[in-house]
Structure formats: structure tokens, C-alpha cells
Amino acid sequence: MPVPNKKKALKLVGSGYAWFVLAFLTLVYISSFVDRQIIAVLATRIQAELNLNNFSVGLLYGPAFSLIYAVCSIPMGRMADLYSRKKIILLGLVIWSVMTFISGFATGLVLLISARFFVGVAESALSPAVYSLLADYFEPQRRATVFSVYASGIFLGIGVAFLGGGSIAQAYDWRTALKAVGAPGVLLAVVGWFAIRELPRGLMQEQRRYQFEQSFGDVIRYILQKKTIIFHFTGFSFLAFTGYTILGFIGTVLTDIHGSEHLIPYYGWFMLATGGSVMVSGRLADWLASRYVPSRRFVMGMVAALACLPLYYFGLFAETGWSALILIGAANVISSSYNGVAAAIIQYLVQPHMRALAGGLYLFVISVVGFGMGPPVTGWLMDTVFTGSYGPARALMTVITCCGILGTACFLMAMKTYDEDAEKEG
């Protein structure tokens, strides 16, 4: 569909069509996380058939995807600020879907890693462009709610990967599972081409005309000079550190401490529940902003950082596998609820033509710190500092507590500088 003029585009803001666009983009996000997480779900089957060692599996799940995803998020964000966000989103969807499908034909590690590389590049194009597009489709006072609906796709996708992908692999094999989760994305992209409209940027505020004249470096410097953004990146990186670490070691807790490996797939149900908590957190953040001041949206980050700690403690040191699963799962529902709020707050701190790049920077930071550092640091603590039957539990509790306290301190500082750094809402 062609780009509507500003008058027509304003009629779409907050309309039923805008909510349709949000639902469609959330479905695309679910697809991305199913394709992203499916390798972890199928890892043991792939390892056995292709005769891979543990290092190769770790390489396939981690660096083959996460490093390229993190690095590419920044230039993809810049591209989304300059070119059609719709085309960037749909091209990325086609590429990662095709590459996931092709993975089902792999006969060795090289093809699998190559396919994961392209999945990482393609998925890095999605969220920066979506953040920018949704900021134009909805009024500023709704953004935390809207972005949280979109962010719920993270956990719905992980839940579907655990429950759906795992079930297909059990019924057939891992190759069929990869093909089954990859193929629908191409059809989704065709629907999106006809259904989604690009909008003029900065609909609800006067757009400045120098966006193409500013260099990449100028925009980066403008974003990173704001103290609130630095506190935001740092604080939410601590929460991502916790989230990726729990996701990486929930299997270790259930298997090594309780001998309950059979319970691991059930963790997918808590991922689905987390999708709901993300949406609730976003709605509460917007309520706090309207009831008090906009900086109060950071309160939901503090809730995610601290309210989960008692549940994590009793879950990690539980006596049975079922108790551990339920308590840790419930804690994760709280600790991961920040995802939509974090993405939304960034939009208030930058100008319209910088929104996608700011989102890319945010994704880069939390990917490097959360995915890149969280599991390795915690694994090192398990290997060298905390030993014994409950060593993994002590290591995880130490990490989660430190991250919760440090994250909260960052959010308190961000609230103090927010008014100085926020752009006029629009």
C-alpha cells in the first residue's frame, strides 16, 4: 500500500486498523522468537544425529546468532530511520523464515551455523523498525501499553517453541520441526505486503527536515549524550542479564539439583504467562505516567527487578523439582515483565527520525550484556565459586540479587534526569 498523506495518516492513529497492525507485528515477533529459540529446544536431538560436541551446540545457539544479531541491530536501526520500515520488516521476515526452513536439510554444523548467521542478520531488522512504526501508529500516552503487547511476542514465541516445536520433534524429528516453524513466515510476509501501510514519521509532532543531513555519528552522539538513556540502557541490561541467565540454566537447576529433566518442557507454560505480565506491566506504566509524571514508567522496571526475588529464592532452594519449576517460573513472570516498558521509554527520549536507531542501540546493549555475558559469567560462578548440590542455585541467586539491586539504582537515577532529557511527547 502507498504511504498515505499526513491528513489521512492521522486518521489511522489509534484506530482499529492501528490495532490490527499491532496484532500483525506481534505475530511476526512471535514467529521470530519461535525461529530463534527452536535450536535450543531441539539441541539434544541435533547433537545426537550430527555427532556434535557441547561446544558446537553452544556455538550454534549463542554466537552464531546472538553476536551477529547484536552487531547488526545498530545499522539496521539506522536504515529503518531512513528507508521504508514496512519493507525492512517484511524482507527480514522472509529471510529468517527461509533460513530456518533450510536448516531442516542440514547435514553438518557448517550449514546450520551459516543459516543461523542469516537468521540473526534478518531478525535484527525487525524490532528497530517496528518500534519506530508503532510510535507513529499510536498516541504517546499509549506507547508503553502498545509496546508491551508487541513485546509479549518474545515469551509467546519461546513458549510456542518449547511446546509446539518440541511436540513436532517428538512426533516426527528435528528436521520436520525446523521446516514446520520456518515455512509459515513466508505466507505471513505476503499478507503483510498487502495489509500494512507505511506512515509519515513523527505524525504527532513537527518533523525536523535535517534527518538525512545528520551523519550516523551525529545521531549516535545525540542519543548517548543523555544521562537518562545511559541509566536506562544500564538498568535494563541488568534485568536482561537475569532473564537470559535463568533461561539458560533452568534446565541445569531441574536436572542437576532435582533430577527432573522431564519437567523442562513445562517451563514453556510460564513463558506464555510472561507474555501476559508484559502487557499488564505496560498498561500499569502508562497509568503511572498519566496519574503522576512520565518518569514513573521506570517504576515497572523496579517491580521487575525486586518483586521477583523472594520467589526466586524459594524456587532455587526448593526441595522438589515441581516446587522449583513453579516458583522459578512464577518469578520469571515478574522479572521479565519489563520488556515492553523498556522499549517504549526510549521513544520519549529521542526525536522521531532517531527512534529506530535508538531501539537498535538498546537491543545491541541488552543482547551483548544479557545474552553475551549473563550465561557465561553465571556458568563460571557455578564451575569455580559455588559448588556442591545447590551450587547452581547459589550462583543464580547471587546474580539475580545483584542485578535487581543495581538495576533499581539505575532506574532511580534515570527518573531524576528524565525531565531534562525527554523530548516533547509526540
| Euclidean distance between CA atoms 368 and 350, whole angstroms | 22
Q: What SS3 state is found at 344? A: helix
* Helix runs in 292-390, H state only: 299-306, 309-316, 321-335, 339-347, 355-366, 374-384
Predicted model pTM: 0.89
Q: What SS3 state is found at 366? A: helix
Q: What is the pLDDT of residue 327?
A: 97
Contact 358, 223 (CB under 8 A): yes
Name the grid cell of 233. Answer: 540502557
* Helix runs in 51-84, H state only: 54-61, 63-82
| Euclidean distance between CA atoms 54 and 252, whole angstroms | 14
CATH of the domain at 415: 1.20.1250.20
| Euclidean distance between CA atoms 23 and 169, whole angstroms | 28
Residue 392 placed within a domain: yes
Cell 522521531, residue located: 352
Residue 1 placed within a domain: no
Name the grid cell of 248. Answer: 539458560
Number of domains forming the structure of the chain: 1
| Euclidean distance between CA atoms 354 and 286, whole angstroms | 22
* Neighbour-count burial of 155, counting CB atoms closer than 10 A to its CB (0-12 exposed, 13-18 middle, 19+ buried): buried
Residue 211 placed within a domain: no
| Euclidean distance between CA atoms 331 and 318, whole angstroms | 13
Q: What is the pLDDT of residue 239?
A: 97
Contact 258, 320 (CB under 8 A): yes
| Euclidean distance between CA atoms 189 and 27, whole angstroms | 11
What's the pLDDT tens digit per position in 368-385? Answer: 888 778 888 888 888 888
For 10-38, the DSSP string reads HHHTTSHHHHHHHHHHHHHHHHHHHHHHH
The length of the chain is 426
Q: Which residues contact 26 (CB under 8 A, 6 or more apart)?
A: 149, 150, 152, 153, 156
* Neighbour-count burial of 206, counting CB atoms closer than 10 A to its CB (0-12 exposed, 13-18 middle, 19+ buried): exposed
108 C-beta neighbours (distance < 10 Å), count: 10
Residue 137 placed within a domain: yes
Contact 327, 283 (CB under 8 A): no
Residue 355 lies in domain: 6-200+216-421
DSSP classification of residue 348: T
HEC assignment per residue over 203-248: CCCCCCCCCCCCCHHHHHHHHHCCHHHHHHHHHHHHHHHHHHHHHH
For residue 140, give the H/E element and its range. none
105 C-beta neighbours (distance < 10 Å), count: 11
| Euclidean distance between CA atoms 236 and 243, whole angstroms | 10
Residue 244 placed within a domain: yes
Residue 70 placed within a domain: yes
Q: Which residues of the chain have pLDDT under 70?
A: 1-3, 5, 54-55, 57-58, 61-62, 203-213, 424-426
Residue 207 placed within a domain: no
Q: What is the pLDDT of residue 209?
A: 47
| Euclidean distance between CA atoms 94 and 106, whole angstroms | 19
Residue 210 placed within a domain: no
Q: Which residues contact 214 (CB under 8 A, 6 or more apart)?
A: 222
